[in-house]
Amino acid sequence: MLVLSRKVGERLNIGDDIVLVISKIAGNRVTLAIEAPADVRVVRGELPPKPRVTESPGELMTVSLSNKGKAAIVG
């Protein structure tokens, strides 16, 4: 895990097409702006992932998160 310190207005690039911008810092709360292509899913970590349909109709892939936040493919 990479841990960085950033100030308001600073950016963090992930790959070629994802950018995180620190929008606001207030106490222990940070507001982020995320710029990413429409096909990139951005989901808050505390929300359970939604099942995603694979290329083949009838097949369903779900992801299960353990209490340590590690993902495991269920089906």
In the chain, where the domains are located: 1-42, 44-75
* pLDDT tens for each residue of 4-18: 999 999 999 999 999
* pLDDT tens for each residue of 24-75: 999 999 999 999 999 988 888 888 777 665 555 555 555 555 555 544 444 4
Give Cβ neighbours of residue 11 (< 8 Å, ≥ 6 apart).
Answer: 19, 20, 21, 22
Pairing of strands 18-26, 29-35: antiparallel
pTM of the model: 0.58
